[in-house]
Amino acid sequence: MTFNSLGLSEPLLRAISKKGYSEPSPIQSKVIPVILDKKDVLASAQTGTGKTAGFTLPILQLLSDGQEYRKRPVRSLILTPTRELAAQIYDNVRAYSAYTDLRSAVIFGGVKANPQIASLKKGVDILIATPGRLLDLHNQHALSLHKVEVLVLDEADRMLDMGFQRDINKILQLLPPRRQNLLFSATFSKEIKRLANGFMSHPQYVEATPENTTVEKINQQVYRVDKKRKTDLILDLIAGGKWQQVLVFTRTKHGANRLTEKMNKADISAAAIHGNKSQGARTKALAGFKEGKVRVLVATDIAARGLDIPLLPHVINFELPNVPEDYVHRIGRTGRAGASGVALSLVSLEEMEYLRDIEKLIDTQIPAETVEGFELTEKLSDLPPSTKKKNFKSSQPKQKNKKFRGRNPRQNRN
């Protein structure tokens, strides 16, 4: 199948060709015709599958073929949970609309609103926004949503996780009742289905991958290690392996800052990205990481959601997330667009409950090893009472003892 066979216009095909794409991804081939048919869509697709172009291209076509307005009201609204994702979608919209007469803008918090208001005053066909800043500018009468023809909720599961349900409901009340609705989520959870049932009209279900599964080309590995030795182990892995681009996840902002500081002291260039960082600092850190100036990006889940880092080879879970679905989102940063990747998790004894929940979700037992020199010595009696579970020891997987210094983890699979 080709993009041409999907019924896209010549200006869009030119833009696609300029970006170097020739064939649509599975999600694109499935969702583009449905959107062009002006049907509501509830789509489940893992990160890195090309879903942004999957909704961007048909929206551009529909708006180009639709009614023209002299003052350019907002005709398509794309809602995203994070600033980084909003900025990346905006970049995609601009690239794909290069040969059309459509205008786009992006608005999000953490930066001054005046330049965004100025862009809106010039007229915008497609608006990409985070919920908070959108409502703020609407309350200031800086924009109107009464002409919206197509609504997109991207990363809808994350928006719910971040507490945007009330904001989403408020925004829905500002939109015209007759419109096309597109909802994209990594999973079809009960919460997502409940949200969709509240505003979508007979949506078409589209799945690019089985629900709640991880990308096949990601080599997943667990390293069993004492909590107090995690920092030493991650430094050994990165330095010994001479890894040059590593995305590391921590559970807390403070933990991200602390680990970043220790890496820089060990002459491993690192930067932290989390909610307490200014938008300027987050943008600079991400740019430095993509350009190779920063070797390690240490992030929390909220800040890293939606990051588009082409050909990222390594993701490390310094701490496992307490929400299993977040594990899928984390490791989905690597293995994108058909490339292979490695996802390592440093797991202490007290995180075994989290690991079992993750393995249950993805229906896979992740291979577990112990790195020589970093053997697990923690005992159940050492843990706080709140982490002691019945049958805790009996549920632990058998360990393999491996010596690891500088070898590629995918060579350690037995």
- Reduce the DSSP state of residue 100 to 3 states and report it: coil
Whether the Cβ atoms of residue 192 and residue 153 lie closer than 8 Å to each other: no
Spatial separation of the C-alpha atoms in residues 82 and 109, rounded to whole Å: 9
DSSP state of 373: T
> How many whole angstroms separate alpha carbon 133 and alpha carbon 104?
16
Structure tokens at 103: 């205008």
3-state secondary structure of 344: strand
**SS3 for 49?**
coil
Q: Residue 240: which of 403, 411, 413 has the closest Cα? A: 403
Give the tokens for residue 58.
Answer: 């048909």
Measure the CA angle with vertex 249, ends 160 and 43; round to 5°.
35
Report the distance separating Cα 64 and Cα 97, nearest Å: 10
**What is the Cα–Cα distance from 307 to 391, expressed in whole angstroms?**
38
Handedness of CA 43, 46, 52, 57 (dihedral sign): negative
Residue with tokens 């680990």: 259
Does the global pTM surpass 0.85? no
Cα 408 to its chain centre, rounded Å, is 25
Question: What token pair was written down for 303?
Answer: 């800040």
For 147, the token pair is: 């002409």
Closest CA to 309 of 280, 285, 333, 339: 333
Place of tokens 């987050």: 282
- Give the C-alpha distances (Å, rounded to integers) separating 41 from 44, 79, 183, 205, 288: 10, 15, 6, 6, 36
Give the containing element (helix H, strand E) for 298: strand 296-299
Q: What angle do CA 400, 404, 407 make, to 5 degrees?
A: 120
Q: How far is CA 256 from CA 14, 82, 260, in A?
A: 42, 18, 6
Residue 338 Rama label (left phi>0; alpha psi -120 to 50; beta): left
Q: So what's the pLDDT on residue 336?
A: 61
Which tokens sit at 413? Answer: 């699979």
Torsion over CA: 321, 325, 328, 330 (sign) = negative
pLDDT at 337: 55
Q: Rounded to 5 degrees, what are φ and ψ at 279?
A: -60, -35
Give residue 67's pLDDT: 84
Q: One digit per residue, pLDDT tens: the chain, 414 residues?
A: 788 889 899 999 999 999 888 889 889 999 999 999 999 999 987 666 788 999 999 999 999 998 888 889 999 999 999 888 899 899 999 999 999 999 999 999 988 999 999 999 999 999 999 999 999 999 999 999 999 999 999 989 888 888 899 999 999 999 999 999 999 987 788 889 999 999 998 999 998 754 444 555 688 999 999 999 999 999 999 999 999 899 999 999 999 999 999 999 999 999 999 878 887 888 888 889 988 899 999 999 876 665 767 678 899 999 999 888 888 878 877 766 556 789 999 999 999 999 999 999 888 899 998 888 999 898 776 666 665 553 344 344 444 444 444 444 433 333
Phi, psi of 318 (to 5 degrees): -65, -35
Q: How far apart are CA 31 and CA 55, in angstroms?
A: 7
DSSP for 133-149?
HHHHHHHTTS---TT--
Q: Take residue 75 and report the two structure tokens written for it.
A: 């005709």
Whole-number pLDDT of residue 71: 87
* Residue 410 per-residue DSSP state: G
Give me the residue label for tokens 């182990």. Answer: 233
pLDDT at 7: 86
Angle at 102 between CA 101 and CA 104, to 5 degrees: 145
Q: Identify the pLDDT of residue 270.
A: 96
Report the sign of the C-alpha dihedral through residues 197, 198, 201, 206, in that order: negative
